[in-house]
Homo-oligomer: A and B are copies of this chain.
Amino acid sequence: MNYQPNILASTLASKKTYRFATFFPEPASDVSYWNKPLIGVKRAFQEIQQYGVEISNYQFKQSEAKSFKNTAEEIMKNPPDGVVMAPFFSREARQFIQQLDENNIPFVFIDSNIKDCEKISYIGQNSYQSGALAGKLFNFSIPGNASILVVHFAKEMDNQNHLVQREKGFYEYFKENDTDKQKSLITLEITNPADKSFYRQIDQVFKKNPNIKGIFVTNSQVYRIGQYLEKNNIEGIRLIGHDLIKENMEFVKNGTVDFLICQRPEEQGYNSVTSLFQHTILKKEVANEQFTSIDIVTKENIEYYKEFN
């Protein structure tokens, strides 16, 4: 018939309790990117805790596949009723997934995806498109025959696969939209960003290529280039990077960074938990892929992208 169970009465009667585990990279500091998904997780928790949901937050080191593996084992010592994870290390993630499957524990992915497995949902950005968007913004805002420097901070704290996809989308954009190859793209790999000796590397690139009118940083460390430009009093360069972390925000506000391409990490965290809740407690269907929007943040609209906290 048309029977709709009363979920309130149901959870009240069955004093059942659920425990979800989140499994994210450890933030480097308290202004780092990976604090943001946790803000969304907390918000979701506040809304659903009355349904008897608890949440345990686990972390791994972004530079150590082994720490992913170790913490995964720790999680399985006290198996939760659902897992939200950022599957950075695909081999270790697959091992973990196998254990979850064996224990019938549902899981959702956040930030990165693993395609061929029985996840409840993937929540994150389309990195390829975000790279293409960066290409578009440069193409619109610098002269036809200018050069663009693509800076790739290699030892950074992001998932490498994302960066590859972003660069791919970026280069592909120019292949398709700059068919007579007026613009030239110069790539620079910086392996040790914390050490400011990379300033000299950039100096040299500028000397060789005086026509550089734009710099694209493929991850959230665009503030390091902002520091470089300000220190050397270089103006008239379009600077585009990623992610609304605190260090980047001041450079957007003072105009050194022109565009920041962002992905709503708080919303990703929030949606990852509520998706697990929908599936596990409410027994409702959850979309298998939930792409978050690719936001263009500037000096003029940055005020309205500070998400809930």
Q: Can you identify 25 A-B contacts, CB atoms within 8 angstroms? A: A6-B12, A6-B50, A7-B50, A8-B8, A8-B50, A9-B12, A12-B12, A125-B304, A129-B303, A129-B304, A132-B300, A133-B298, A133-B300, A133-B301, A135-B300, A136-B299, A140-B140, A140-B141, A140-B258, A291-B304, A292-B304, A293-B301, A293-B304, A293-B305, A294-B301
Majority secondary structure of chain A interface residues (helix, strand, loop or mixed): helix
Evaluate whether A304 and B126 lie within 8 angstroms (CB atoms) in the complex, with A8-B8, A11-B8 already known: yes
A276 touches B (CB below 8 Å): no
State the oligomeric state as a number of copies.
2
C-alpha gap A140/B136 in the complex (Å): 12
**A282-309 to B contact mask, C-beta < 8 Å, 1/0:** 0000000001111110111101110000
Q: Which residues of B contact A298 (CB under 8 A)?
A: 133, 136, 296
Q: How far is the CB of A257 from chain B (nearest CB, A)?
A: 13
How long is the Cα–Cα vector from A95 to B129 in the complex, in angstroms?
49
Rounded to whole angstroms, the CA-CA distance of A304 and B11 in the bound complex is 35
A300 close to B258 (CB less than 8 A) = no
Chain A interface bracket (under 10, 10 to 19, 20 to 34, 35 or more): 20 to 34
Bound CA–CA A125/B300 (angstroms) = 13
Q: In whole angstroms, how far apart are the Cα atoms of A126 and B302 in the complex?
A: 12
Q: A130 vs B304: C-alpha distance in the bound complex, in angstroms?
A: 10
The 9 closest A-B pairs by CB, nearest first: A296-B296, A294-B301, A133-B300, A140-B141, A293-B304, A8-B8, A132-B300, A8-B12, A136-B300
A:119-143 near B, CB below 8 Å? 125-126, 129-130, 132-133, 135-136, 140-141
Who on chain B is nearest to A301 by CB?
B294
**Residues of B contacting A258 with CB < 8 Å?**
140
Q: In the complex, which residues of chain B have a beta carbon less than 8 angstroms from the beta carbon of A141?
A: 140-141
Contact with B along A137-154 (1 / 0, CB 8 A): 000110000000000000
CA distance A132 to B135 in the complex (A): 23
B-chain residues with CB within 8 Å of residue A12 when the two chains form the complex: 6, 8-9, 12
Q: Cα distance A280–B243 when bound, in Å?
A: 36
Bound together, the chains give a CA A13 to CA B144 distance in angstroms of 69
Interface positions, chain A 3-62, Cβ under 8 Å from B, are 6-9, 11-12, 50-51
A135 nearest in chain B by CB position: B300
Cα A295 to Cα B132 in complex, Å, equals 17
The residue that A300 contacts in the complex, of B8, B9, B11, B129, with Cβ under 8 A, is B129
Q: How far is the CA of A285 from the CA of B280 in the complex (A)?
A: 29
Q: Nearest residue in B to A305 (C-beta to C-beta)?
A: B293
Counting chain B CB atoms within 10 Å of each CB, the highest count among A126, A291, A300, A303 belongs to A300
